[in-house]
Structure 1
Amino acid sequence: MNGKSMDVKILPFSLILLLSLLGRGEGAFSYSLENDLRTLLFTTNSYNKLTRPLAQVAISAKLNLLTLTSLSIKDQTMSIAGYFTLMWSDGRLNWTADATYNTDIPAFYTNQDYVWTPSLSVTNSVSDIAVISDNTVVIRVFKDGTLNWTPGGVYNTQCTTDVTYYPFDTQKCSVTLATWGYTSIEISLVGGGVETTYYEPNGEWEFSTYSIQSSTRSFESNSLPQVSFDLTFKRRPMFQVMNTIIPMILLASLSVFVFQLPPDSGEKMGYSLTTLLAFAVYLTLVSANIPTTSINTPCLSVYLIIMLSMGVTSVLLTIYILKCHHSPEDKPIPNYLRKFCVFAKKLAYLDCCCKRKNVVEEADGKVSEDTKPRVPVSETELTWPEVTEILDNFFFKLYAVVLTLLTFTVLVTLVISYFTH
């Protein structure tokens, strides 16, 4: 009986304690209490927002990247949307030692009209160089005197680009945040990182990595602290590969096959001119997409110039070959042309020997080589049609080798640079 009566007495007491705690939690926020705290901090304590809180205020700055709006190679600019997270400490706004407000008010909100804020600016901006100021963004003040401010916007900054490996290029652009007026003795600016939690991917550029550099810049006899958020972006090359590089290689290969057309067909000259014209027209379209800068020369531009030069040279060689083909039979062949033809025939002969040299396995298991006697290269008996045929074969092979090696070298260079940067 005693145990049951004790339980009955404890039960009402527990309910009363629980209800009192719940009531205290629900009434944690009190307008009058917070209003009294604001009056104490800003009026009674005579808070002056123009006076910095410490001899040297340590400010932590973090860049929150939302999206890459544009990265213009032509204009050498980068545009991003994001906001800064600025944190510093103001001992005048510390109420942890006041038991009246410490428990019920962990933090409150204010704006620039009431508290001291650092004078900061994006110094490498190309659109608006001004002190960061936004009264619409509230400042969270914690009870230990720590302030958190997140001003945001669209920042257009200068970006020195490197287009050597376009369209497999990687660009490194920066957003430089510096004090405006305050020296490094009065403000210490530290980079807190780059946050990409809410970053929306860009269709042309892929965000790769970031780095932070803290430094000072000289202004008259003072040094001003600054922090640079270096952002690295890689271009997504598939669009340029499908619409620029592959069609360009296919057009360039057409100039090789002009030497396979017979001179008597009557289409040799028209084919070479049509190929050159098509390549020149396409070159004007491609040039609109290639970055217009003279600081770095893109490998793709060098490739285009070489291919255009080969197209022009093929037209000139075609004219010369047609002239040789239609020369009178009694016209003597110049000595330099005769020596060139002998040289070309020797190269063709060596190539033919390599192709005909077969290793066969005989019935007894021994290996023998097919070594049939070859017709010696004639140095005297040449006709103009033979000269034409020799020239066509030689330049066809030469153009094919040069085009293959050059295309392979350029593509390998671009791909290696893309994966190593």
Structure 2
Amino acid sequence: DEKNQVLITNAWLQMYWFDVYLSWDQYEYPGVLNLRFPADQIWVPDILLYNSADERFDATFHTNVLVNYSGSCQYIPPGILKSTCYIDVRWFPFDVQKCDLKFGSWTHSGWLIDLQMLEADISNYISNGEWDLVGVPGKRNEMYYECCKEPYPDVTYTITMRRRTLYYGLNLLIPCVLISGLALLVFLLPADSGEKISLGITVLLSLTVFMLLVAEIMPATSDSVPLIAQYFASIMVIVGLSVVVTVLVLQFHHHDPQAGKMPKWVSSFRGMKKPGENIKPLSCKYSYPKHHVSVNRMEMNVLPGHQSSNGNMIYNYIAMEGRCCPQKNDPGSKSGKITCSLPEDTELVQKKGLMDTIPVIVKILEEVQFIAMRFRKQDEGEEICSEWKFAAAVIDRLCLVAFTLFAIICTFTILMSAPNFIEAVSKDFA
């Protein structure tokens, strides 16, 4: 019972002594070699378990005492012994526990009963699913108290047990490692999915449930922190920090462009450039030949293939009623000058129409400038948002690498610090 730090042992004691008052001559009583007496009818040494945790203190069943004709007495009382056992949870679940069974006389000193030790017989040991019995070494001790000069001997058997870690590995350690891997997936989840925070908090709650399972098994002691609790705590720190970083990443990803541009320290911290940031747009160096058209002292540059019926008001108000005569130029030249002669009344009508359309054109230009300004601001906002989103992606990738390394280091450093980690893995997981 690890929770209450009690060891329950099903065993029987073997006590041998000589009693000269219980010997007889076998020739006077032929055929009588052994006799059996109840334990309460003859003298029996008061050997008790010092560190008993039983309500009756003495949990042995008082059987008969087998007495030989020579006075040799044999007393083998069985019992279910409950003893106190200090549980060292420092290396749980890769721990080795040592529990003592201290036997001695309660009222007789060493001058009256010379207590000697026999080796523990474990030939009838029944294996346990949780523990492996390593050994049961014994030792005889002598205690001297201030009240008395005589020694008080005792025999202490140390039961050494190694915990079998297969159960805890499959039900606690492996799920925790998988959950820590899920925590790292938070940095791979797109920020637009809206599930980054939910995944991190879910993983954190899962680790909390495993911590509660460990707390139910372990005794309420503050002497040491279990190894598995240290591992769970480190993974919880990783998951908690991942949630904090995720909040920062989402803040960067959904940054308001009106809040301003990215600070220089953020831009320098990320230390990366967006793909294609240094690529300059291609500029067209080809220049089209120009055709000059003269309309009553007015010349307009027209691109090749340009049509006058493009919906422009200026072209609509220009009535090309006169005759346009091309001027002779160099035959090898691709440009030319077209001179059109118009009647005087047509020229007056055109000038009046142009004067009437100037306010409309000015208003149209203002609207075009406003639309251009809106598009320019929209492009600037998109550029700012794209910088913040790129910074969020950089932080995600950096944290993915850093937290992965930290999780791997914590896993191997903490678990392999157990003295018998390799032995437990080779025996239980092989």
Asked if 1 retains the 8 angstrom alpha-carbon contact of 2:83 and 2:101, the reply is yes
Measure the CA separation in 2 of the matches of 1:157 and 1:132: 10
The correspondence for 2:162, drawn from 219, 231, 234, is 234
Q: Per-residue CA shift, 1:8-46, capped at 9, x if unaligned?
A: xxxxxxxxxxxxxxxxxxxxxxxxxxxxxxxxxxxxxxx
* Alignment partner, residue 76 of structure 1: 5
Structure 1: runs of 5 or more not aligned: 1-71, 347-381
* Alignment partner, residue 394 of structure 1: 398
2:249 partner amino acid: I
1:129 CA drift (Å): 5.9
* Alignment partner, residue 211 of structure 1: 137
2:240 partner amino acid: V
Q: Does 1:304 align with 2:232?
A: yes
1:243 partner amino acid: N
Asked if 2 retains the 8 angstrom alpha-carbon contact of 1:215 and 1:227, the reply is yes
Measure the CA separation in 2 of the matches of 1:112 and 1:243: 49
- Normalising to structure 1: TM-score of the pair? 0.67
Q: Per-residue CA shift, 1:308-366, capped at 9, x if unaligned?
A: 11111111111111111222457233344334322xx59xxxxxxxxxxxxxxxxxxxx
2:177 partner amino acid: I
- Normalising to structure 2: TM-score of the pair? 0.66
1:87 CA drift (Å): 0.3
SS at match of 2:110: coil
**Structure 1 residues 135-284: aligned runs within 5 Å:** 135=62, 137-222=63-148, 223-284=151-212
SS at match of 2:415: helix
1:257 CA drift (Å): 1.1
Q: Does 1:318 align with 2:279?
A: no
1:320 partner amino acid: L
2:157 partner amino acid: F
Change (3 A) 1:417 1:280: closer
Aligned length: 310
1:393 CA drift (Å): 0.6
Measure the CA separation in 2 of the matches of 1:383 and 1:276: 31
* Alignment partner, residue 111 of structure 1: 38
SS at match of 1:383: helix
Measure the CA separation in 1 of the matches of 2:422 and 2:222: 21
Asked if 2 retains the 8 angstrom alpha-carbon contact of 1:122 and 1:129, the reply is no
Asked if 1 retains the 8 angstrom alpha-carbon contact of 2:134 and 2:161, the reply is yes
Higher strand share: 1
Give the % identical residues: 26
SS at match of 1:196: coil
SS at match of 1:144: coil
Of structures 1 and 2, the larger Rg is shown by 2
Asked if 2 retains the 8 angstrom alpha-carbon contact of 1:122 and 1:177, the reply is yes
Asked if 2 retains the 8 angstrom alpha-carbon contact of 1:89 and 1:145, the reply is yes
SS at match of 2:21: strand
Q: Does 1:93 align with 2:25?
A: no
2:158 partner amino acid: D
Q: Per-residue CA shift, 1:368-413, capped at 9, x if unaligned?
A: xxxxxxxxxxxxxx92222112111100001111111211223333
Structure 2: runs of 5 or more not aligned: 274-385, 425-430
Runs of 4+ deviating beyond 4 Å: 129-135
Q: Per-residue CA shift, 1:202-254, capped at 9, x if unaligned?
A: 22222220111211334551342211111111222111111111111111111
1:291 CA drift (Å): 4.1
Q: Does 1:122 align with 2:49?
A: yes
